[in-house]
Amino acid sequence: MPELPEVETIKRGLEAAICGRRIIDVVINNPKVIKAPSADRFSHLLKGMRISRIFRRGKVLIFSLSSKRHKELFLLIHLRMSGQLVYPGQGIKARVSFKLSNGKLLDFNDQRLLGELKVLKRLEDSLFLRRLGPEPFDLNSRDFTKMLSKRKTRIKPLLLDQSFISGIGNIYAAESLFRAKISPQRRAATLTYRQADRLLYSIIAVLKEAIKYKGSSVSQYVKSDGKQGRYALYHKVYNRKGKPCFSCRSKIERISLGGRGTYFCPQCQK
DNA sequence: AATGGGACCTGCGCGC
DNA sequence: TGCGCGCAGGTCCCAT
């Protein structure tokens, strides 16, 4: 479900709702989603810890936890395809439910069980975080052009590569390429400076707009208050196969690239 | 290095 | 109604 704008929306919602709360209990209804350490150790470590700060890196949500008696710990949450964080939660259908010091629940729901929860002593212990590419907002055109110039692969799968650039998923890759008028099939290194510049600023604009509308609720994604984001209303190509392009009225096409559905306008995107 | 396939999972919508 | 198929916002792992 969640790409950068969805995770950022959840982060902001939780920041306002649960920062400063203590975790009193952890109910694990499906240990499959606990990737480290063991489920028992996971709850033991978390009990009594205070949620002091919440941040985001790429699509990963990170809770920084503290207590007087223990060293700082990090709870990493990757929602993958169908994960949700809902507060206050019901605890019923949750894979994992955190009981907080105010008696309310923070639910981790995940229909497809692909999500991951981890407790780490240090962020450097996460190989995924260590390998994560830069946040789109931190890049400039010159760096981005240079990064692209070294890669022979197609631009769209490259945008999905989290070690190349972090936070972009299937929806926003498609929307950004449409906005930049670049075909998803172009080889990365063939983009001119002008095109790379346009692509970077399209990515940033699309992500910011999506954050403004609190993410795209296509099927599973909800905000931390359980309500939907509205950005799907503004998608120009994603999920619009056969529908007229908003710019030139040609039919939007869907092809498969790197095993992922890829939507684009064959007329506008070159 | 790049690409393709399958794996991990559950559930939905479609055509027959 | 029921079945089989393809598909899904992500990532990893293997083979070529």
- Where are any strands of DSSP class E within chain A? 23-28, 34-36, 50-57, 60-66, 73-78, 83-86, 96-100, 105-110, 116-120, 253-257, 260-264
Residues of chain A with pLDDT under 50: none
Nucleotide minimizing C1' to CA distance for residue A80: C10
Q: Is residue A59 annotated as a catalytic residue, yes or no?
A: yes
Report pTM. 0.97
Check residue A130 and give its pLDDT: 95
CA A203 to chain CA centroid, nearest Å: 14
The residues, any chain, with a CB within 8 Å of residue A51's CB and separated by 6 or more, are A18, A19, A20, A21, A22, A23, A63, A64, A65
Q: Which of A2, A5, A136, A184 is catalytic?
A: A2
Check residue A70 and give its pLDDT: 82
Output the CA–CA distances (angstroms, integers) from residue A179 to A56, A129, A155, in the order listed: 25, 29, 14
Gap between the terminal Cα atoms of chain A: 28
Output the CA–CA distances (angstroms, integers) from residue A34 to A23, A57, A142, A204, A266, in the order listed: 17, 19, 40, 33, 43
Q: Is residue A88 annotated as a catalytic residue, yes or no?
A: no
Determine whether the distance from the CB of A262 to the nearest atom of strand C is below 7 Å.
no
Residue nearest to nucleotide B10 (CA to C1'): A112
Buried b (16+ CB within 10 A) or exposed e, A170-192: bbbbbbbbbbbbbbbebebeebe
Check residue A265 and give its pLDDT: 96
Determine whether the distance from the CB of A185 to the nearest atom of strand C is below 7 Å.
no
Buried b (16+ CB within 10 A) or exposed e, A53-69: ebebbbbbbbbbbeeee
φ/ψ of A78, rounded to 5, equals -115, 120
Check residue A131 and give its pLDDT: 95
Q: Is residue A31 annotated as a catalytic residue, yes or no?
A: no
Residue nearest to nucleotide C9 (CA to C1'): A1
Check residue A110 and give its pLDDT: 96
Q: Is residue A2 annotated as a catalytic residue, yes or no?
A: yes
pLDDT digits (tens, 9 = 90+) for A192-210: 999 999 999 999 999 999 9
Check residue A1 and give its pLDDT: 63
Amino acid A259 CA to nucleotide B12 C1' distance, rounded Å: 20
